[in-house]
Amino acid sequence: METLINIPWAIFLILLPLAGGITCFLWPEKTKIVGLSTIVSVVISVAGLTWVMIETGPFHHTVGGWGAPLGIDLYADGLSLLMLTITSLVGLGISIYATGYFNSNYSIRFWPLWLFIMAALNALFLSADIFNFYITLELMGLAAVALTALGTSADALTGAMRYLLATLLGSLVYLFGVALLYHNFGSVDITILSQRIESTPIVWAALGLMSTGLILKTALFPLHFWLPSAHASAPAPVSAILSALIIKASFYILLRIWLDIFAPLGYELVATLLGVFGSVAILWGSIQALLQTRLKLLIAYSTIAQIGYLFLAFSLAISGAMTAWSAVVYLMFSHALAKSAMFLVAGNLMHFCGHDRIKDLDRIAQRLPVTAAAFALAGVSIVGLPPSGGFIGKWFLLETALQQEQWAFTAVIMLGSLLAAGYIFKVLGFAFTQAIASHDPHVIPAHMEWAALLLACMAIIVGFFSSPLLFIVDIGNPFEISELKR
């Protein structure tokens, strides 16, 4: 037991995918084997870190023995561990799928970039200062743009270029905020900043800049303009990475800086504003999804709507309701699993039919029952039906809104679920009916169908384990500061 505790699992989470990516560059003919074995190693490392943190509490490590403010600290509490778990599980499903989706020409470009993204994501979730957040965001964003452009079509290149400009602008605005805080307090370490923070115009300017940059990268309404084209035009595994993981990373940073740094300032007005934008995102994104005729665009607009639920929690948590943060935890987990499953389903249909036109799905439910089942199960979680993870998250939100008599938010949550049911059943309806124009189907590797079903099933199963999941997230009390504020 002592040996297992002393193994540096968290360090492995950064070094393994980094080494795997470099190996894929140097040994392109073995990219699939190297990539898949690296992802499996990451899943094992996350399991090891989880066990260690349950036994010993939050993880802390000073790189090279040089801690803050001069050196780099790595830190993981329950919230960090949740994000690492999401990344590893979704990454495993996408990696299994990608072994069948990409041919050798695309594999030699996909795997190194994908492993670099995973290394950057893991480093981001283990970072303990706001400048390393910026570094890892940039590494992740540039690799993600390159992956988006893998589609090579004009739409893919346009989507990638729009995403590049948005992510660079978001990072630049965030960096201005970091510079203001460093100029005032002489440190970028989160713990030090939380002890020194005080309400001044410069601090509020930093809060505004950092939040705006991260909201742009998370694609909250009305700064979502880049998301539909980027997510809909990229190859299916890349769309799944973007929707399930990349936008969650910037939201995680936003959550961290609000809870750990800016909470003592009091943020009722801004939090209410975020809740309003979240509400508009839910309704606008859901209506747009309902109007789409292509499946990938429908899923992309659904992502915009589901992001809105995450921002409702900022407003509902003002009065100290911890269930609002529990809702965020569940919604991030279930959305990542369900939405990645949906994009993999869309990739299966593109491969099988040669298109993703919803009205021409032509009895997919009979011809690809595993794929159709994956979409239906993922849809259960997106709509928020029991016993899925999405149901638990939306129930927590609804319960909090009702207790606080926030009737407008209550109506938005319920109406959002009804609209989600509308666009999910719209797809399922065409999946059971015969299309006017027939097409020649292409064979899909079985593991591509089962990878999508695996992720969709996990989105349902996570709903049965609310107590263990919330127990793990509570390691280190990541939401404690906002509670003390009150």
Residue 365 three-state SS = helix
- Number of domains forming the structure of the chain: 1
Per residue in 280-299, pLDDT (tens digit) is 999 999 999 999 999 999 99
Query: Where is pLDDT greater, at 119 or 159?
Result: 119
Decide if 223 is inside a domain. no
Over residues 178-200, mean pLDDT: 92
Residue the block writes with tokens 């016993």: 387
Structure tokens at 105: 């020409």
pLDDT higher than 80, residue 35? yes
Burial (CB count within 10 angstroms: exposed 0-12, middle 13-18, buried 19+), residue 245: buried
Give the integer Cα–Cα distance in Å for 203 and 180.
7
If one compares 316 and 268, the residue with the highest pLDDT of the two is 316
Going by pLDDT thresholds of 50, 70 and 90, the confidence category of residue 435 is confident
Q: In this model, does residue 482 exceed pLDDT 70?
A: no
Q: Shortest CA distance to 362 belongs to which of 435, 470, 268, 442?
A: 435
H or E element that contains 76: strand 73-76
Report yes or no: 230 and 163 within 8 Å, Cβ to Cβ. yes
* Domain-located, residue 242: no
Summary mean pLDDT of the chain:
91
Asked if residue 97 is part of any domain, the answer here is no
Instruction: Say if CB 85 and CB 25 are below 8 A apart.
Output: no
Average pLDDT over residues 190-215: 92
pLDDT digits (tens, 9 = 90+) for 134-148: 999 999 999 999 999
Give the closest residue to 308 by CA, choosing from 403, 420, 232, 172: 420
Stated pTM of the model: 0.95
| Count of other CB atoms within 10 angstroms of residue 418 | 10
- Per-residue pLDDT for 486 more than 70? no
Rounded Cα distance between 221 and 50, Å, is 35
Determine the structural domain holding residue 447 and report its residue range: 286-485
Locate 81 and state its tokens.
Answer: 């561990």
Model confidence at 328: pLDDT above 70: yes
74 phi, psi to nearest 5 deg: -110, 140
- Residue 39 in any domain: the answer is no
pLDDT score recorded for residue 99: 95
CA distance 124 to 136: 6
40-44, 173-177, 283-287, 359-363: least confidently modelled range: 359-363
